[in-house]
């Protein structure tokens, strides 16, 4: 099978490549990249005026299966990923049962193999049941195929447990992904603590709830010499500490979500429950710090924290709605509209945070267009404008704060292992 992508702007940060040309795919592998390829192929994709990148990787999604199939399944979640231009996703373990053992991990992998449209890499729980009390069988999880460890959705409150987790994870070449939240400081809060929460009469969550745990986890990463990845940074203080940790040579990486680099707590005005997320949408100064962290490389990865919920779960009073927002199908146009078009990031910088950087953190041989590598490719139309219509989402979750927004720069083709799985918004797999 030969597929030729013709005349696109090819951006591969892993190889410092940014040029106009053709990409030839043969039998699921990148076979050749050059200015003009003349060869007989089975199919040609016209990419003139388009951006051609390695397949995008989202290292932070919640697919809800097993246990919460009324919110999202692996089948619908991977269709949403394909629609959003992602060829690989790493799914958090807060399913039911929790992915803290080989059986659940194997189930997820089997489901992904049978029903998935894109590649799915399970993340195992750090502690049994994500209860933060006893370490999960990390060696067995590694053997089952997890690519990282996290109790995401919950913090590991016990510092001794976190220290041992970092030590054991290092033995198995796994990275701990920290959900940084002091539950005692955050308890009872519904949004960022500040002027807007006072005006709205909603109990706030102080920035310190995140920052105290970021500080502790960085200290423990230094103590153990282990890699640490901090999920969904949301405050200026967290960005400052991550920047300092990197400057001191610690193996600390971090991610930010599109909703945290786009929205502020002002979006909560109107009590739209799609804006209820954890960590909460912060102040404008916090958002500015996130943008600065993206620009200077403190924040390595853009991840969606895709968190679908059933419609009836979100159509309640703000205080009673669960945390979370879907993100797979709006991530790329938000990156283009909010970061690239605003001059925050270059195309190459943005693509790196969606490809090679998450691949390195998870230890995946992906995120590149190197000759001979797996032919996972995303094609983006940088000029295409469209209004976000949640009714058209492939995801079962419609809980997006961006519904009705007009965004520019949408993915138009997703290729996995040399096979086109999405073209012009239509899922083909």
Ordered DSSP codes for 216-283: HHHHHHHHHT--EEE-S--SHHHHHHHHHHHHTT--EEEEE-HHHHH--GGGGTT--GGG--SSPP--
Torsion, Cα 171 367 87 274, to 10 degrees, reads 80
- The radius of gyration of the chain's CA atoms, rounded to the nearest angstrom, is 20
Q: Which of 401, 380, 123 is nearest to 260 (CA)?
A: 401
Per-residue tokens: 395: 């995801």
Is 305 catalytic? The answer is yes
Given 305, 376, 381, 417, the catalytic residue: 305
CB 121 within 8 A of CB 109: no
CA distance 249 to 258: 27
Distances in whole angstroms, Cα of residue 187 to Cα of each of 132, 182, 206: 17, 8, 10
First and final C-alpha spacing in the chain: 16
Per-residue tokens: 134: 């006893």
Q: How many CB atoms lie within 10 A of CB 250?
A: 18
What positions carry a catalytic annotation? 305
């Amino acid at each position: 099978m030969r597929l030729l992508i013709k005349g696109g702007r090819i951006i591969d940060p892993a190889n410092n490549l940014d040029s106009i040309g053709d990409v030839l795919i043969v039998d699921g592998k990148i076979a050749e990249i050059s200015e003009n390829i003349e060869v007989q192929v089975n199919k040609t994709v016209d990419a003139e005026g388009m951006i051609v990148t390695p397949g995008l990787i989202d290292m932070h999604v919640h697919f809800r299966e097993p246990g919460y199939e009324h919110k999202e399944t692996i089948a619908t979640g991977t269709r949403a990923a394909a629609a959003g231009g992602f060829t690989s996703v790493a799914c958090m373990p807060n399913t039911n049962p929790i992915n803290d053992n080989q059986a659940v991990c194997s189930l997820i992998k089997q489901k992904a193999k049978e029903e998935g449209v894109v590649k799915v890499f399970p993340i195992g729980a750090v502690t049994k049941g994500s209860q933060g009390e006893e370490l999960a069988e990390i060696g067995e999880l590694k053997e089952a195929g997890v690519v990282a460890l996290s109790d995401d959705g919950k913090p590991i409150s016990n510092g001794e447990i976190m220290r041992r987790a970092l030590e054991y994870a290092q033995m198995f070449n796994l990275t701990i992904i920290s959900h940084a939240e002091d539950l005692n400081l955050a308890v009872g809060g519904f949004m960022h603590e500040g002027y807007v929460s006072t005006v709205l009469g909603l109990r706030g969550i102080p920035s310190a709830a995140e920052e105290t745990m970021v500080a502790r986890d960085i200290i423990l990463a230094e103590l153990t010499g282990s890699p640490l990845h901090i999920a969904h940074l949301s405050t200026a203080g967290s960005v400052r500490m991550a920047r300092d940790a990197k400057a001191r040579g610690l193996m600390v990486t971090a991610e930010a979500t599109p909703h945290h680099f786009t929205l502020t707590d002002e979006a909560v005005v109107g009590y739209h429950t799609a804006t209820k997320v954890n960590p909460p949408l912060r102040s404008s100064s916090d958002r500015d710090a996130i943008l600065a962290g993206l620009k200077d490389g403190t924040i390595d990865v853009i991840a969606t924290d895709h968190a679908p919920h059933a419609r009836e779960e979100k159509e309640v009073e703000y205080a009673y709605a669960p945390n979370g927002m879907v993100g797979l199908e709006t991530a790329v146009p938000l990156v283009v509209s909010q970061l690239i078009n605003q001059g925050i990031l270059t195309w190459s910088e943005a693509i790196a945070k969606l490809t090679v950087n998450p691949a390195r953190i998870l230890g995946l041989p992906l995120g590149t267009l190197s000759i001979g590598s797996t032919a996972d490719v995303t094609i983006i139309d940088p000029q295409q404008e469209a209004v976000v219509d949640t009714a058209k989402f492939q995801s079962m979750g419609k809980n997006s704060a961006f519904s009705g927004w007009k965004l520019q720069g949408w993915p138009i083709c997703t290729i996995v292992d040399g096979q086109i799985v999405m073209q012009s918004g239509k899922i083909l797999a």
